[in-house]
Amino acid sequence: MITPSLILFYLAGALTLGGALGVVMGRNIVYAAISLIVSLLGVAGVFLLAFAEFLALVQILIYGGAIVIVIVFALMLTRLDEFQQLSEHKQWPLAALSALAFFGVLAAAIARTAVTTRDRAEVSFTALSESLFVDWAIPFEVVSLVLLVALIGAVVMVRRTGERS
Amino acid sequence: MITLAHFQVLAAALFAVGMYGVLSRRSPVIILMAIELMLNAVNINLIGFAAFGDFPEAHRTFGQVLVVFVITIAAAELALAVAIILRLYRNKGSANVDDVNIMKW
């Protein structure tokens, strides 16, 4: 049965997959970054259709904002002309074949595995925050520490060391 | 009517596209973007199961909590990867993954 939510799902899915194909197939690296934004916004739409509105907002803010900006900075700080005309490896047919084979295996596994499902239900915002800050408070703190260490490590790594060359 | 299978197939397709990108491109920045796509595929799967799975309430909530963790780790990984790419570019004058073979045996 075609419901409006199904049409919206196909729309968001097409945006996601189209953007993803634009990332991996495009010839121009700047267009690839823009395709990535489209794809990530499509993923946010899919989140909304699963009633995960908080995570959809997080997706737009962190992926659409921060992560794509960092990638664009990486493009600006490395030489662009080298990748103006992108090319694939010689073995791209092998890569396509293995990706297709992997998708086939996943699709077969999805079709064969029986999961007891029920109607779409939202996870309430209160339950999410309680779970995050009460049940999983320690992992949450650890993961924020990991983020801090990674960012400091990134700064240390790119800092110019005056002595060498 | 949306079912869990829709989410699973979309996630599998997105993961396969990301995998093709990682395997076939030579620019490290594109490879990074493809890795982000694969992480997003995992997130779609988690969210799908959190919305449709017939699990206890606490388990369904944990699905969404895991997505928060995945996004955080993805941000950390991205920052380190961009730092490595910049370092590589500065040391070797190019950022082509085919040129990085000093650890290849």
Which residue, B72, B88, B68, B81, is CA-closest to B35?
Answer: B81
- Contact: A71, B47; criterion CB under 8 Å: no
Q: Which pLDDT belongs to residue A80?
A: 59
List chain B domain ranges: 4-96
B96 dihedral zone (left: phi>0; alpha: psi -120 to 50; beta): beta
Cα-based torsion angle of the residue sequence A68, B84, A82, A91 in order, rounded to the nearest 10 degrees:
-90
Structure tokens at B46: 């988690």
**Phi/psi at B91 (5° precision):** -80, -35
Give the single-character DSSP code of A131. I
Give the single-character DSSP code of A28. S
Q: What is the ipTM of this complex?
A: 0.89
- Contact: A143, B72; criterion CB under 8 Å: yes
Searching chain A, which residue's CA lies closest to the CA of residue B66?
Answer: A132
Q: Which pLDDT belongs to residue A89?
A: 67
- What average pLDDT does the structure give for chain A? 86
CATH of range B4-96; options 3.40.50.1100, 1.10.287.3510, 3.20.20.70, 1.20.1560.10: 1.10.287.3510
Q: Is the pLDDT of residue A83 over 70?
A: no
Question: Of A117-121, A135-139, B17-21, which gets the smallest average pLDDT?
Answer: A117-121
Chain B hits for A94, Cβ within 8 Å: 23
Out of A47, A83, A140, whose CB is closest to B27? Answer: A83
Q: pLDDT by residue for chain B (105 residues), tens digit each?
A: 788 889 999 999 999 999 999 998 888 888 999 999 999 999 999 999 998 888 888 888 998 999 999 999 999 999 999 998 888 888 877 777 777 777 776
B60 touches B53 (CB < 8 A) = yes
**Phi/psi at A117 (5° precision):** -115, 175
CATH architecture of A4-91: Up-down Bundle (1.20)
List chain A domain ranges: 4-91, 124-165
* Mean pLDDT, residues A43-72: 90
**Per the confidence metrics, is the pTM higher than 0.80?**
yes
Structure tokens at A132: 């995050």
- Contact: A46, B47; criterion CB under 8 Å: yes
Chain A with chain B: Cβ pairs closer than 8 A:
253
Chain B nearest-CA distance from A67, in A, is 7
